[in-house]
Structure 1
Amino acid sequence: MPIIALIIIGAAAGFIATRMMKLETDVLTTVAIGVFGALIGGFALRFLITITGWMAGFVGAVLGALLLIWLWKAYTSPPK
């Protein structure tokens, strides 16, 4: 069950993060960004803030996905 929850929360977080960063991706990439962002953000948020519950995980997932998109854009985009 935790894997399914991670995928669902990751998909939602990836969708929100890609829209906030104005990134056009397919569904699989959006879910992957959200899931990996959830892992990154979840670990960071749980380490830094002692908030419990699913809302903290969701906020961490969105923040992690935003960080991942920012890193992706910073290191894969050609210079302007």
Structure 2
Amino acid sequence: MGGAVLLLVIGAAAGFIATRIMRVETDIITTIVIGMAGALVGGLVLRALITVMGLMAGFVGAVLGALALIWLWNTYGTRR
């Protein structure tokens, strides 16, 4: 029971953050489903990268993280 509640809370949080970043208006149920599905897809992709690439997955993750930070900086950072 506790695991299901935790999954709903994490799914709701992840869905809320993702829908706000992408500027999508959804109801609570859709937001939770988006978050839970995103966690599933993200976990599968990460496991596949680690399996296929081994240690190179860390490098790919670092590059993707840097790209995400650059995008966030350009989108929400200080304007010149």
TM-score, normalised to structure 1's length?
0.53
CA contact under 8 A between 1:14 and 1:32: conserved in structure 2?
Answer: yes
Aligned match of 2:68: none
Gap regions ≥5 residues in structure 2: 52-80
Superposed displacement of residue 23, structure 1? 0.2
Which deviations, in whole Å up to 9, do the C-alpha atoms of 1:45-76 show, x marking residues without a partner?
233249xxxxxxxxxxxxxxxxxxxxxxxxxx
Tell me which of the two structures has the higher relative contact order, counting C-alpha pairs closer than 8 angstroms and 6 or more residues apart. Answer: 1
Larger radius of gyration: 2
Equivalent residue of 1:22, what SS? coil
Q: Would you say 1:7 and 2:25 are equivalent positions?
A: no
Q: Tell me whether 1:31 sits opposite 2:24 in the alignment.
A: no
For structure 1, the 5+ residue unaligned runs are 51-80
Q: Is the 8 A contact 1:6 1:38 kept in 2?
A: no
- Identity percentage of aligned residues: 60
Sort the Cα spacing of 1:2 and 1:43 in 2 relative to 1 into closer, same or farther, 3 A: farther
